Amino acid sequence: MGESTELSTLSSQLQSAAKLLKRLTILATNPYSDIRLAALKVVCALSTQPWGARLLLDQPGCMEYLLNRNTEVGLQETPQLMQTKYEIVSNVLSTSESSKRYELSEFLVLLRPEQVACLRLYVKEGVWGVQQAQSAVAMEPG
């Protein structure tokens, strides 16, 4: 009976954390960069925990937002925002790999192979990603 109560308490705590994370992901898209950065820093801390990474992946559109490097362009604190998003993605990737040693399913962070590949590419490309340079060749008439 004690184990059942502990699992029930854990489930209740995870539901509360999910509500908090949902609110944080909404704040992370706030037009005010200081609010956005504060929310992302909390999400970054949560992404180091298996339950936090799992809840983050369960938020609709959250990973797409984190992987989109264009969402912070033009904001006042762009470098800090980009760095924090990069750290979150990196944390989710490493947390998912290290969570495999846990026995409780609540702590497993399961990613599909294509998600892992996408996260690894994002981390490999770095904070700013691969910049597409356009070259122009000047031609002289004649």
User: What are the pLDDT digits (tens) for 43-83?
Assistant: 999 999 888 888 898 888 999 999 999 998 888 889 999 99
Reported confidence tier of residue 6, pLDDT bands at 50, 70, 90: confident
Would 101 be classed as within a structural domain? yes
CA distance 40 to 49: 15
Would 3 be classed as within a structural domain? no
Residue 116 identity:
V
Would 121 be classed as within a structural domain? yes
CB 90 within 8 A of CB 131: no
Would 2 be classed as within a structural domain? no
Residue 37's pLDDT is: 96
Residue 118's pLDDT is: 92
CB 50 within 8 A of CB 94: no
What average pLDDT is seen over the chain?
84
Reported confidence tier of residue 16, pLDDT bands at 50, 70, 90: confident
Would 130 be classed as within a structural domain? no
CB 65 within 8 A of CB 27: no
**Count of domains for the chain:** 1
Would 15 be classed as within a structural domain? yes
